[in-house]
């Protein structure tokens, strides 16, 4: 479902909100707001990328799909960023599967218009380059995290990052979703979540996980959380939600 394209609505995305009025005005006629339902596959691996998306209140994961049908998350996109335009630089094909983890809205823009903006609007180009560097840091750190850190530490990192992007403590997270993003069995996640609750770090309910001790959760997470967050805060200080 498509909605109107008011500039104020597009500013729900912090990357678009960081643009000055003239740059956003230049893009605005080509921006449209779309709804992303939970579980919607925005792009499948190898699919032609025609639009860049700027999430508002949803989180979209880029996952690698394995031959056995399993998936592992390698990057995530919330209101602090955008996805699609990097995949379309040369091949115009998606790196992997982009899937909406939570229902919400996003602004989308034809990639041709965004590329035109990077050549004609220096401040747009600078902002996207900064985001690209922060995204590369996130992706590389996620790969390293998946390889060497415990499921519990990675789970804490994922919950914290989701909490930052959604800017609330009560998160619509299920054990199935966490297992899929972490690339582990659901029973493993259930055990980890139970231990985190017993430690007083979270409270779990039906399809909901509530962060009750953020500082304790940060201590239990691996250093990847602070590295990823620090990269965004350094390169895009006006876009990343405060803790």
- pLDDT of 109-153, one tens digit each? 999 999 999 999 999 999 999 999 998 888 888 888 888 999 999
User: What is the predicted pLDDT for the residue at 239?
Assistant: 67
Residue segments in the chain with a per-residue pLDDT below the cut of 50: 1
Helix runs in the chain, H state only: 7-10, 14-17, 21-27, 111-120, 122-148, 151-166, 175-182, 186-198, 214-220, 224-235
d(CA 235, CA 243): 17
Of 43, 53, 45, 143, the closest CA to residue 96 belongs to 45
User: What is the predicted pLDDT for the residue at 143?
Assistant: 85
Give the number of other CB atoms < 10 A from CB of residue 8. Answer: 7
User: What is the predicted pLDDT for the residue at 66?
Assistant: 81
d(CA 111, CA 176): 33
d(CA 241, CA 187): 32
Q: What residues pair up with 204 in beta bridges, in sequence order?
A: 209
Tokens, residue 181: 């993003």
User: What is the predicted pLDDT for the residue at 3?
Assistant: 54
- pLDDT of 158-175, one tens digit each? 999 999 888 899 999 999
């Amino acid at each position: 479902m498509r909605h109107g394209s008011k500039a104020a609505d597009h500013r729900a995305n912090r990357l678009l909100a960081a643009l000055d009025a003239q740059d956003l005005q230049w893009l605005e006629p080509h921006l449209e707001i779309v709804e992303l339902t939970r579980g919607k596959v925005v792009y499948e691996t190898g699919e032609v990328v025609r639009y860049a998306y700027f999430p508002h209140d949803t989180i979209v994961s880029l996952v690698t799909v394995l031959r056995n049908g399993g998936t592992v998350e390698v990057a995530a996109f919330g209101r602090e960023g955008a996805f699609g335009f990097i995949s379309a630089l040369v091949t115009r094909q998606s790196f992997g599967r982009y899937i909406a983890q939570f229902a919400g809205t996003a602004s989308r823009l034809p990639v041709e218009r965004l590329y035109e903006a990077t050549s004609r609007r220096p401040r747009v180009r600078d902002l996207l380059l900064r985001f690209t560097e922060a995204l590369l840091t996130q992706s590389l750190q996620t790969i390293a995290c998946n390889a060497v850190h415990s499921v519990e530490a990675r789970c804490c990192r994922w919950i914290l990052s989701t909490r930052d992007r959604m800017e609330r403590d009560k998160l619509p997270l299920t054990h199935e979703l966490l297992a899929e993003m972490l690339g582990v069995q659901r029973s493993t996640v259930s055990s980890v979540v139970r231990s985190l609750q017993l430690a007083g770090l979270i409270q779990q309910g039906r399809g909901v996980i509530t962060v009750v001790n953020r500082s304790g959760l940060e201590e239990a997470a691996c250093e990847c959380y602070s590295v990823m967050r620090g990269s965004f805060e350094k390169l895009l200080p006006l876009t990343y939600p405060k803790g």
